[in-house]
Structure 1
Amino acid sequence: MLISQMFKRKPCVFSIECFPPKQTANFEKMKQTLRTMSELHPDFISVTYGAGGSAGGVSTVEVAQYLKQDIGIEPLAHMICMGSDRSKAAELLRQLEAAGVRNVLTLRGDRTPSRPESPDFAHASDLAAFVWKTQPEFDIHAACYPEGHPEAANLREDVANLRFKQEAGASHLLTQLFFDNGHFYRFLNLARREGITLPVSAGVMPIVKRSQIERTVALSSASLPSEFTRMISRYQDDPQSLYAAGIDYAVQQLRDLIEGGADGVHLYAMNDAAVAKAVYEGISDLL
């Protein structure tokens, strides 16, 4: 099923994100995690980019195929510009088509030493346009940033650039994680004023371990509201209490988003089925 159709059938679409294991030996453990997550009735599960093969680990295609064919959950397979070109992108689309996967999230991807700039896709919108032209039956999805992309001059410029993704065939936007819902609502109002009509899923990550704090903030560039920082200050040396407080913070954030009319909510669960289950139990009555 095309994910874009889900937004026409229910008021709030619920999804979860997972990432392929870096070692093939851990795939069986991940399969159990995915089976447990499927019991939470997500509308789709997003699979981050993993090359697999000679690069080692498990590929996005393998995880997406398992979700689609073995569990019956619709996957959203990530594609990135970095380290790719038209030939590699076409081959990935061919593999996804063979696996029965039709939903893709087109991203630029993080710059790393092992991933050179793409000669063909300078921006995620270029990759989206390529997919739209190459595989018009695919459902294309794109990312957005409630606080603006770190490389954008400002939020208004970043939101204006979303028109390129919309015009390139994107049918749905998925946000970077954030901890202050006020940023999401301001972003959404600005996007609608700029003519962005696509449904938007709000991304939330429960912070349940001290080790997540600096790493997550550094990667996401998300600002931290005072309520969140007080929680961290109070419980950072108490793992059990931090876990409970982190779950509760995410639950309250998601409940507000659902009740506030978000088209969808997306849970960055970091392959932790227990966290996903705990959060889901706090919002299931609204879904």
Structure 2
Amino acid sequence: MNTFTHAQHHHSLNQYISGLAEGINVSFEFFPPKSAEMEETLWQSIFRLSTLNPKFVSVTYGANSGARDRTHDIIKAIKQKTGLIAAPHLTCIDATKAQLADIAKDYWSNGIKHIVALRGDIPAGQPNPQIYAADLVTLLKEVADFDISVAAYPEVHPEAKSAQADLDNLKRKIDAGANRAITQFFFDIEKFLRFRDKCVANGIHAEIIPGILPVSNLSQLERFATMTNVHVPNWLTKMFTGIDDDIETRKFVGASVAMDMVKVLSREGVRDFHFYTLNRAEMSFALCHTLGVKP
């Protein structure tokens, strides 16, 4: 009986997904490459995923000037080469308000009007920044009417004093003018759904977009999860046990997990998904295909 019910559940989900395509929006995150080989992989991924007409693509941002320059250059190149809405990450780390305003003005004058506003990771040994993400949102809105995304944490930011303090901070960012929040990656769907409900209960009515990380490398995932306070469930660890040297099976397992997640989230009313691509197109492309998003 349980097996039959489980099969019925999957059949129901698949039927539901098959009629969804027109209502689904996707976006993709990339990071600046550090070598010529990585740059080639990045552009292959950007061009392939651009065929899915994403709502926007974002590019992460480092704390030093060299990494910043790479982000600026890639963002402008994406817009020029693909016509996509390209959204740079912008952080408060190691920058004055005047410098941030200048960067924002340069983006706006180059037609870059969507920014992902973040506090940013504080490098070891550096003092706390002068301003935080909510202040950055205010600053950006003073420069121009940017479309602004901010970060949200279904499992609570590692540095937050409490879950409520974290929600209060998210509300400050939305109240300052942010248009939407994109979550840290997660694997516990119930935690995301409870978080979404808590946002509404706390007067946060902006869209909360789930961040989806297609996984194919468990050790890499565990490293990311440790840094970000994300719980890696035992069932996920078990799925990757014994296949360390089998790349293709790891990709299949990771894609299967993420596909189940997007199917259930779609059933729960989620229409926008943000994929952390790690600069590789294959798994994100397959996931979008499952959602019915096709070239």
Query: Which TM bucket (shorter chain)?
Result: 0.7 to 0.9
Please report how far the alpha carbon of residue 55 of structure 1 lies from its aligned counterpart in structure 2 after TM superposition: 2.0
Please report how far the alpha carbon of residue 91 of structure 1 lies from its aligned counterpart in structure 2 after TM superposition: 1.9
Q: Is the 8 A contact 2:29 2:274 kept in 1?
A: yes
CA distance in 2, matches of 1:117, 1:179: 30
Q: Is the 8 A contact 1:81 1:117 kept in 2?
A: no
1:172 corresponds to? 180
Please report how far the alpha carbon of residue 235 of structure 1 lies from its aligned counterpart in structure 2 after TM superposition: 3.2
Aligned residue among 198, 205, 212 for 1:197: 205
Unpaired segments of 5 or more residues in structure 1? 1-9
Q: Is the 8 A contact 1:50 1:59 kept in 2?
A: no
1:253 corresponds to? 261
2:110 corresponds to? 99
Unpaired segments of 5 or more residues in structure 2? 1-21
Which amino acid letter does the alignment assign opposite residue 230 of structure 1? K
Q: Is the 8 A contact 1:51 1:58 kept in 2?
A: no
Q: Is the 8 A contact 2:63 2:123 kept in 1?
A: no
Please report how far the alpha carbon of residue 25 of structure 1 lies from its aligned counterpart in structure 2 after TM superposition: 7.2
1:160 corresponds to? 168
2:58 corresponds to? 46
Taking structure 1 as reference, are residues 213 and 30 closer, same or farther at Cα in structure 2, changes over 3 Å only? closer
Taking structure 1 as reference, are residues 59 and 24 closer, same or farther at Cα in structure 2, changes over 3 Å only? farther
Taking structure 1 as reference, are residues 274 and 263 closer, same or farther at Cα in structure 2, changes over 3 Å only? closer
Aligned residue among 173, 181, 184 for 2:189: 181
TM-score normalised by structure 2 residue count = 0.85
2:66 corresponds to? 55
Which amino acid letter does the alignment assign opposite residue 176 of structure 2? A
How many residues align? The count is 274
Please report how far the alpha carbon of residue 90 of structure 1 lies from its aligned counterpart in structure 2 after TM superposition: 1.4
1:132 corresponds to? 141
Taking structure 1 as reference, are residues 284 and 203 closer, same or farther at Cα in structure 2, changes over 3 Å only? same
1:7 corresponds to? none
Which amino acid letter does the alignment assign opposite residue 63 of structure 1? I
> What secondary structure is seen at the aligned counterpart in 2 of 1:217?
helix
TM-score normalised by structure 1 residue count = 0.87
Which amino acid letter does the alignment assign opposite residue 146 of structure 2? F
Please report how far the alpha carbon of residue 29 of structure 1 lies from its aligned counterpart in structure 2 after TM superposition: 4.4
Q: Is the 8 A contact 1:258 1:286 kept in 2?
A: no
Please report how far the alpha carbon of residue 144 of structure 1 lies from its aligned counterpart in structure 2 after TM superposition: 0.4
Taking structure 1 as reference, are residues 278 and 58 closer, same or farther at Cα in structure 2, changes over 3 Å only? farther
> What secondary structure is seen at the aligned counterpart in 2 of 1:93?
helix
2:32 corresponds to? 20
Taking structure 1 as reference, are residues 64 and 116 closer, same or farther at Cα in structure 2, changes over 3 Å only? farther
Q: Please tell me whether residue 78 in structure 1 is matched to residue 89 in structure 2.
A: yes
Judge which range, 179-188 or 148-157, deviates more: 148-157
Please report how far the alpha carbon of residue 253 of structure 1 lies from its aligned counterpart in structure 2 after TM superposition: 0.7
Alignment deviations for residues 223-255 of structure 1 (CA, whole Å, 9 cap, x no partner): 122321221225345332222101110111111
CA RMSD of aligned residues (A): 2.4
Which amino acid letter does the alignment assign opposite residue 248 of structure 1? S
2:288 corresponds to? 280
Q: Is the 8 A contact 2:63 2:94 kept in 1?
A: no
Please report how far the alpha carbon of residue 170 of structure 1 lies from its aligned counterpart in structure 2 after TM superposition: 0.6
Percent of aligned positions that are identical = 30
> What secondary structure is seen at the aligned counterpart in 2 of 1:76?
strand
Q: Larger Cα Rg: Structure 1 or Structure 2?
A: 2
Please report how far the alpha carbon of residue 157 of structure 1 lies from its aligned counterpart in structure 2 after TM superposition: 2.4
CA distance in 1, matches of 2:23, 2:95: 36
Taking structure 1 as reference, are residues 227 and 25 closer, same or farther at Cα in structure 2, changes over 3 Å only? closer
